[in-house]
Structure 1
Amino acid sequence: MLSIIKRYSRNLAWQILFALILGVAVGLYLHTFSDPSHPYYKTYQSWVVNVLQPMGDIFIRLIKMIVLPIILSTLTLGIAGLGNSKSLGRLGGKTILYFEIITTVAIGVGILFGNLFHPGNGIDISNLQHTSVTQYVQKSETLAEKPHGLVVMILDMIPHNIFDSLSSGEILPVIFFCVFFGLGLTKLPDNQRLFFSDFLKVISDVMFKITNMIMRYAPIGVFGLMTVTISKFGFSSLIPLMKLILIVYLAMIVFTLVILGGVAYFCRFNIFTIIKILKDELIVAFSTSSSETALPKMIEKMEAYGAPKSITSFVIPTGYSFNLDGSTLYQSIAVIFLAQLYGISLSVTDQVMIVITLMVASKGIAGVPGVSFLVLSATLATTSIPLEGLGFILGIDRILDMGRTVVNVIGNALASLVISRWEHDFDDEKARAYEKSLGIK
């Protein structure tokens, strides 16, 4: 018995899961002190601000610290490994095509579930808590004043200064730079190319070693973030919108198992195997509501599973801007929910416009803070639904964000495998050996 407990206690996934459950329990207890009129409210605030929130913020910052160096080193190496711009163009074309198809299907699934289960019907608006969304409305109005379109989006991808892009955490400009840097490496003489490749390989290896060190802190970070989230909202605020929460999670489960599972099966993969491989990262992503926390280990694991570095290092970071399946699925349900909440009937034409707007908006403002609500604001602006309606779902957004983050991670991991298979560059023997090493049958 003790040996079993000892074995599980050393397993990172179980440590994170225990931290998640403990965070929920402690959060529920602390929620009783969250009322400003409570005599211990100031003590509660002090613990949240000075202890619990920093515990989580430290973990998030540590992850953000290594994400761009990993992308910079692995993607440059991967592009250099492709050998020429023709191979890169083929890879990029297939990747964007796949992302567009899957994202459109995700939006369609969200609209289907919204129309089938009517999450906004039968809810009394007067019983709902309303949170101010002025900041999101102002941001969406500011963005609306800026020019949009494919040309503008391409221009935004080209960095004015690569160091500014690195310091501000802009993934797309960094990817753009890495692509050209990698192509430039292929033009160098062999001795110079090998020198720089070896240098980047060392940086990549060091970053992954640091990732393993940071992940040992994950349970503490997860505990802090989960405790803060639950202590602020409790469960009472979820009850009026429980139907919406259940429908969103049901839609995400169906999308993951049926749509992504079907794509995986068609490409000779098993969606449950992918989930088992990424179990640690999925628990962390769920707890922190941050896809970035999974990116370093996801690249490492998908490469270990048989996808080549040239594909994982390109597809996965790009997917963080262009393949947010969970987010777009949620956004489409949210639009239908708000329309039903206000008693607004959306015609087929209206819903087609919603699909088109979500497809464009989710790509055009990728990487902007509060992106989900900005995309929703842009989408609602094309309908007769009041923007103020976002205030009704802002309070439960963190709970929904946890689920959609998991779907985003699974979707991007699968994308790297699908593109690898499409490129006829997936190593099945390596995959079987990796599954065996993890005890996956």
Structure 2
Amino acid sequence: MEKKNRLTTYILVGLALGVLVGYLVNVSMATPASYADTMSLITTLFLRLIKMIIAPLVFSTLVVGIARMGDAGEVGRVGIKTLAWFFIASVMSLALGLILVNIFRPGDALVGQLPAHAAASGLATSSLTLKEFVTHLVPSSIVDGMAKNEILQIVVFSLFFGLGAAAIGKKAEPLIEAVDGVAHVMLKVTGYVMKFAPFAVFAAVSGTIAKSGLGVLQTYGVFMAEFYFGIVILWLLLIGAGFIFLGRRVLALITEVRGPTLLAFSTASSEAAFPKTLEGLERFGVRNRIAAFVLPIGYSFNLDGSMMYCTFAAVFIAQAYGIEMSLGQQMTMMAVLMLTSKGMAGVPRASLVVIAATLSQFNIPEAGLVLLLGIDHFLDMARSATNVIGNSIATAVVAKWEGELTTPAAPNKELAEAPLP
């Protein structure tokens, strides 16, 4: 069995054992919260190892990709195509959330569980204003941006650095080769870190179940079932859109990234899956310079699962408080979320923060988020997995448009010359 298949199997085993052990701890221990706290240390350690990789990996791969892409005109052309796909996917995701929440009306069933209007959700909302987004777009110091893992800031700096290296030409070649070496070293480090993934998955799931119990799934079972149904529809739409451009190869792509998708689902973290998603795209045949350019940008501009959740959850809270929103108000909310959701990847509990920032603009009590805090981890699992699928398809489609998608008979030359771990 291939290593990547073994890792997927181990992650599944960790997920199943996590549910079982978490349930047993919940029903047998007097203080299951202490077990959950202990398990959170393992999960935190793994996620910190992943975050340790992200900044140098995004910087090195993006710089090499842009420098090898050539002139600024080519970078601009690829960038426009990338953003065009992201815009279409964003509209589709946000609209699907609105349509489903109006059909199912899950908020009507939770009227009796409403928290007081003044209840605090514990979420800071000021970090997602338009002013804050724009000021955080360009780093005042790239060292600070890397230290905080601000993906959007790293992308902006890498764009300028890569364009500068491309403009210099031959004089920059030794530097680009060195940066390329950094990228391959970080991919090797990724291989080491991923060996801990099954343990992290077990810890995250067992800790959550131990603390909240299976009852949290039963209480909000209908809401979760409707949201997961929406996620399935979104997957079908994304795969259908990919099929238009990639044909049957889109199914091979989904197979190739099933490991990173499962990892994102299990850990509820899109970041955790970034390195392996990049590797999977290159194995699929996407040239490194396209994958290294499109994928990091997608982590800030193309979080399909998170965007669908934003409209679904915001209108759900309005329904729970008996607030009827007109079609015009919902369309305005969709436009607001289109802007405020960009760059959410660098914000802790990003989707909830975006929703909290949006609710106040429509006079919907922010306290309604308390309804979702108990199950947000399980919802975030689906959101994170969907983000991986959406960004993978987007990257492959852009590569197809650029003629940079190789066939199985003509493997990725860059990948073949420098085998990944």
**TM-score exceeds 0.5:** yes
Question: Which of the numbers 29, 51, 54 marks the counterpart of 1:67?
Answer: 54
Q: Alpha carbons of 1:143 and 1:60: their partners in 2 closer, same or farther (altered >3 Å)?
A: closer
Question: Which of the numbers 82, 91, 113 marks the counterpart of 2:69?
Answer: 82
Report the TM-score, using the length of structure 1 for normalisation.
0.87
Letter in 1 for 2:95: G
Comparing 375-384 with 342-351, greater Cα deviation is found at 375-384
**Which residue matches 1:403?**
382
Question: Which of the numbers 11, 15, 26 marks the counterpart of 2:10?
Answer: 15
**Which residue matches 2:164?**
184
Residue 320 of structure 1 deviates from its aligned partner by 0.9
Residue 48 of structure 1 deviates from its aligned partner by 3.3
Residue 387 of structure 1 deviates from its aligned partner by 1.3
Does 1:314 find its partner at 2:301?
no
Query: Could you list the per-position Cα deviations for residues 333-392 of structure 1 after superposition, in whole angstroms to 9, with x for gaps in the alignment?
Result: 112211221222111111111111110110165522222112111221232321111111
**Which residue matches 2:222?**
243
- Structure-1 separation of matches of 2:335 and 2:313: 15
Does 1:261 find its partner at 2:239?
yes
Letter in 2 for 1:266: I
Residue 206 of structure 1 deviates from its aligned partner by 1.0
- Structure-2 separation of matches of 1:48 and 1:236: 16
CA RMSD of aligned residues (A): 2.6
Q: Alpha carbons of 1:189 and 1:256: their partners in 2 closer, same or farther (altered >3 Å)?
A: closer
SS at match of 2:346: coil
Question: Which of the numbers 40, 53, 60 marks the counterpart of 2:40?
Answer: 53
- Structure-2 separation of matches of 1:7 and 1:177: 37
- Structure-2 separation of matches of 1:57 and 1:49: 10
Structure 1 portions without partners, runs of 5+: 1-5, 435-441
Letter in 1 for 2:10: Q
**Which residue matches 1:421?**
400
- Structure-2 separation of matches of 1:25 and 1:261: 33
Comparing 266-275 with 309-318, greater Cα deviation is found at 266-275
Letter in 2 for 1:22: L
Query: Could you list the per-position Cα deviations for residues 43-62 of structure 1 after superposition, in whole angstroms to 9, with x for gaps in the alignment?
Result: x4444334x22222221111
Query: Could you list the per-position Cα deviations for residues 73-101 of structure 1 after superposition, in whole angstroms to 9, with x for gaps in the alignment?
Result: 11100000111111111111111121111
Checking the alignment, whether the CA contact within 8 Å between 1:9 and 1:15 is kept in structure 2 is no
Does 1:372 find its partner at 2:351?
yes
Structure 2 portions without partners, runs of 5+: 414-421
Letter in 2 for 1:62: L
SS at match of 2:220: helix
- Percentage identity across aligned positions? 34
Please list, as runs of the form range in 1=range in 2, the aligned pairs for 1:18-57 lying within 5 A after superposition. 18-32=13-27, 38=30, 41=31, 44-50=32-38, 52-57=39-44
Query: Could you list the per-position Cα deviations for residues 19-49 of structure 1 after superposition, in whole angstroms to 9, with x for gaps in the alignment?
Result: 1000000001111256xxx3xx2xx444433
Number of corresponding residues: 413
- Structure-1 separation of matches of 2:134 and 2:190: 31
**Which residue matches 2:151?**
171
Letter in 1 for 2:49: L
SS at match of 1:425: coil
Please list, as runs of the form range in 1=range in 2, the aligned pairs for 1:335-414 lying within 5 A after superposition. 335-363=314-342, 366-414=345-393
Bigger Rg, structure 1 or 2: 1
Please list, as runs of the form range in 1=range in 2, the aligned pairs for 1:118-267 lying within 5 A after superposition. 118-126=105-113, 133-136=120-123, 139-140=124-125, 142-143=126-127, 148=130, 153-190=133-170, 192-257=171-236, 259-267=237-245
Checking the alignment, whether the CA contact within 8 Å between 1:304 and 1:430 is kept in structure 2 is no
Question: Which of the numbers 277, 280, 284 marks the counterpart of 2:256?
Answer: 277
SS at match of 2:355: helix
- Structure-2 separation of matches of 1:116 and 1:82: 46
Q: Alpha carbons of 1:178 and 1:415: their partners in 2 closer, same or farther (altered >3 Å)?
A: same
Residue 179 of structure 1 deviates from its aligned partner by 1.1
Letter in 2 for 1:428: T
Letter in 1 for 2:265: F
**Which residue matches 2:417?**
none
Q: Alpha carbons of 1:402 and 1:314: their partners in 2 closer, same or farther (altered >3 Å)?
A: same
Comparing 416-425 with 76-85, greater Cα deviation is found at 416-425
Checking the alignment, whether the CA contact within 8 Å between 1:131 and 1:391 is kept in structure 2 is no
Report the TM-score, using the length of structure 2 for normalisation.
0.91
Residue 253 of structure 1 deviates from its aligned partner by 0.4
- Structure-2 separation of matches of 1:130 and 1:430: 61
- Structure-2 separation of matches of 1:338 and 1:433: 48
- Structure-1 separation of matches of 2:362 and 2:378: 26
Residue 119 of structure 1 deviates from its aligned partner by 1.3
Does 1:291 find its partner at 2:279?
no
Q: Alpha carbons of 1:166 and 1:21: their partners in 2 closer, same or farther (altered >3 Å)?
A: same
Letter in 2 for 1:157: L
- Structure-2 separation of matches of 1:108 and 1:352: 9
- Structure-1 separation of matches of 2:369 and 2:298: 26
Checking the alignment, whether the CA contact within 8 Å between 2:121 and 2:366 is kept in structure 1 is no
Residue 128 of structure 1 deviates from its aligned partner by 8.1
Residue 223 of structure 1 deviates from its aligned partner by 0.8
Checking the alignment, whether the CA contact within 8 Å between 2:257 and 2:281 is kept in structure 1 is no
Checking the alignment, whether the CA contact within 8 Å between 2:301 and 2:343 is kept in structure 1 is no
**Which residue matches 1:305?**
284
Checking the alignment, whether the CA contact within 8 Å between 1:306 and 1:430 is kept in structure 2 is no
Letter in 1 for 2:151: I
- Structure-2 separation of matches of 1:287 and 1:411: 17
Letter in 1 for 2:13: F
- Structure-2 separation of matches of 1:7 and 1:72: 29
SS at match of 2:335: helix
- Structure-2 separation of matches of 1:318 and 1:78: 13
Letter in 2 for 1:265: F
